[in-house]
Each structure stands twice: as structure tokens, then as C-alpha cells.
């Protein structure tokens, strides 16, 4: 879908790799200026911004912030707002998943998962959503998971709960920020990224693909296409929704 987002400013969290990176690329390709948030991969994030600016003639800026940390999120917002006069699009993509048996899990792991997968979304949406509401325009997309709907695995019990809570945040913020700001979530199934590199071995991938109606593991593009649609004018009447992009998994 051809889309014109020229003049709009977008912030994507965890955008140095995987799904977030692909969303940043597609936003830039559509003409939006992009803020690439990263936690540790400074060089990769800065290179991505350089490439996007060269290729698509847009403004791109890499900003470090651990989105699970309040001071970092506050700094991310103030740096973003001082470099761009407004933020029109927020994609809450950053997330972590520690895959392990329940008996091996710690409280620390639970806390870190919730802090990363939820706190940043809450804080960023609260602050930037209020500004969008004032501007009477905004698009917010949260990257949830189909584990939040019908694909529960005890080995990702904290992650699944955090993504279910993310769906709840999505609906509450959609109500709070209506009618000018759309807030939706995408719920990917198996996507081929570094997050799954230890779990999705070729054997497991083959087995899992058999459970998927489309007979394949998804790609970051599959997810980014839906995110871009939810940012486009064409999806203006869609808000407060959790939309699966999992190739058909039941």
C-alpha cells in the first residue's frame, strides 16, 4: 500500500533490530521522520538513521533509553520533543521474553518483563498521548503478541501476562485519548527475529509452520505492513482493537 506520511514524526521503541527496525524502515519509506529508540545498540541505531536519511530524504534520530526506566523515558520524551516540534505517531514495539520452565523463573525475571513490556508503554503513551490529544491528531500502535489472546505457553508465563496487560492498556488509552488519537495493538504470532533465535530451531519452525494456516513462520514485514495500515488514514475508523497477524493460529 502506497502511503504518504510526509511531515509526520514517528517514535518507534526498540527499533534497532527485528520488527521495530522494519517498522522504522517502512515509516521512513512512507515519508515520515523517525526517532529510533534503542537501549544498547548505539552503532546499529545510528547507522540505521544515517541510511534512512540518505535513502528516503527524511529526518532520523537515534535516542538511547531503557524504556523500563522512568528517568530514561523522561529523557527520551524531552529529547524527542526538543528535536521535533510534535510527535504524531508512537509505536511501542520494544519488548523482552525470557523463555524458561516455571520452576527456573525468578521474581526478578517477572519484574523485568513487566517493567520493559508495560512500564515504557504506559509512561510514553501517557505523556505523548496527552500531547497528541492536545494537537487533535495521533496514531499509537502497541506491539502485543498472540500469546496474549489464545497461544499461552507456561514457559513464557510472565511474557504472556505482560502482553495481556498491554491489550488492556491499549483499550483504556483508546478510550482516554478518543476521538482524535487512535490506539490499537497488533498481536503477532511466530515471527522470524533474534527474539526467537534459540527457540525457533529449524525443526521447531517446521513443526510450528504446520499449525499455521499460512504454512509458514511470519516475517517482520508481515507485522510492519499491519502497523503501517493502522497508522494510515485508511484505518481512521479503527481504534481500541487488538489485531492478530499470525498467519492463522488457533
Kindly tell me which of 170 and 196 has the beta carbon lying closer to ligand NAD. 196
CB 2 within 8 A of CB 29: no
Candidates 9, 26, 30, 39; binder of ligand NAD (CB under 6 A) is 39
Candidates 18, 129, 138, 247; binder of ligand NAD (CB under 6 A) is 18
Candidates 143, 183, 185, 227; binder of ligand NAD (CB under 6 A) is 143
Candidates 32, 36, 94, 124; binder of ligand NAD (CB under 6 A) is 94
Task: Name, in order, each residue with C-beta under 8 angstroms of 71's C-beta and a sequence gap of 6 or more.
Answer: none
Least distance in angstroms from the C-beta of 174 to ligand NAD: 19
Indicate if 56 belongs to the active site.
no
Kindly tell me which of 174 and 227 has the beta carbon lying closer to ligand NAD. 227
Report helix, strand or coil for 225. Answer: helix
Is residue 121 a contact residue for ligand NAD (CB under 6 A)?
no
Q: Which of 15, 182, 224 is nearest to 89 (CA)?
A: 182
Kindly tell me which of 31 and 199 has the beta carbon lying closer to ligand NAD. 199
Residue that has been written with the C-alpha cell 508503554 in this structure: 121
Is residue 95 a contact residue for ligand NAD (CB under 6 A)?
yes
Instruction: Find the part of the chain contacting ligand NAD (CB under 6 A) among 99-107, 172-180, 185-193, 205-213.
Output: 185-193
Between the alpha carbon of residue 103 and those of residues 154, 184, 189, 200, the distances in Å are: 10, 34, 25, 22
Kindly tell me which of 33 and 146 has the beta carbon lying closer to ligand NAD. 146
Candidates 12, 19, 128, 149; binder of ligand NAD (CB under 6 A) is 19
Is residue 193 a contact residue for ligand NAD (CB under 6 A)?
yes
Between the alpha carbon of residue 93 and those of residues 40, 89, 142, the distances in Å are: 15, 12, 6
Task: Name, in order, each residue with C-beta under 8 angstroms of 66's C-beta and a sequence gap of 6 or more.
Answer: 39, 72
Least distance in angstroms from the C-beta of 155 to ligand NAD: 14
- In DSSP notation, 101-164 reads -GGG--HHHHHHHHIIIIIHHHHHHHHHHHHHHHHT-EEEEEE--GGGTT---GGGHHHHHHHH
Candidates 8, 132, 177, 191; binder of ligand NAD (CB under 6 A) is 191
Residue that has been written with the C-alpha cell 533490530 in this structure: 17
| Angstrom distance (rounded) from CA 33 to CA 35 | 7
Report helix, strand or coil for 21. Answer: helix
Is residue 196 a contact residue for ligand NAD (CB under 6 A)?
yes
Candidates 3, 31, 75, 96; binder of ligand NAD (CB under 6 A) is 96
- In DSSP notation, 167-193 reads HHHHHHHHHHHTTTEEEEEEEE-SB-S
Catalytic annotation, pick one of 38, 122, 153, 159: 159
- Give the catalytic positions in this structure: 159
Contact set with ligand NAD (CB under 6 A): 13-14, 16-20, 37, 39, 66-68, 93-97, 116, 143, 145, 188, 190-191, 193-196
Amino acid at each position: 500500500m502506497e502511503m504518504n506520511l510526509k511531515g509526520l514524526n514517528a517514535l518507534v521503541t526498540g527499533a534497532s533490530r527485528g520488527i521495530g527496525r522494519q517498522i522504522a524502515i517502512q515509516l521512513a519509506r512512507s515519508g515520515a521522520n523517525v526517532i529510533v529508540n534503542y537501549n544498547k545498540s548505539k552503532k546499529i541505531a545510528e547507522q540505521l538513521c544515517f541510511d534512512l536519511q540518505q535513502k528516503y530524504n527524511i529526518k532520523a534520530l537515534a535516542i538511547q533509553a531503557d524504556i523500563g526506566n522512568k528517568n530514561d523515558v523522561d529523557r527520551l520524551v524531552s529529547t524527542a520533543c526538543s528535536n521535533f516540534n510534535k510527535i504524531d505517531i508512537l509505536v511501542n514495539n520494544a519488548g523482552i521474553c525470557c523463555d524458561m520452565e516455571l520452576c527456573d523463573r525468578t521474581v526478578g525475571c517477572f519484574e523485568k518483563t513487566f517493567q520493559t513490556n508495560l512500564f515504557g508503554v504506559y509512561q510514553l503513551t501517557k505523556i505523548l498521548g496527552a500531547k497528541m490529544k492536545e494537537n487533535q491528531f495521533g496514531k499509537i500502535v502497541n506491539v502485543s503478541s498472540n500469546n496474549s489472546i489464545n497461544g499461552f505457553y507456561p514457559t513464557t508465563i510472565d511474557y504472556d501476562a505482560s502482553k495481556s496487560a498491554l491489550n488492556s492498556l491499549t483499550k483504556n488509552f483508546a478510550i482516554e485519548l478518543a476521538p482524535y488519537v487512535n490506539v490499537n495493538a497488533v498481536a503477532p504470532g511466530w515471527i522470524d527475529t533474534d527474539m526467537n533465535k534459540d527457540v525457533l530451531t529449524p525443526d521447531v519452525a517446521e513443526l510450528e509452520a504446520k499449525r499455521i494456516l499460512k504454512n509458514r513462520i511470519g516475517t517482520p514485514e508481515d507485522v510492519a505492513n499491519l502497523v503501517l495500515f493502522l497508522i494510515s488514514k485508511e484505518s481512521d475508523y479503527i481504534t481500541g482493537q487488538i489485531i492478530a497477524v499470525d498467519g492463522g493460529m488457533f
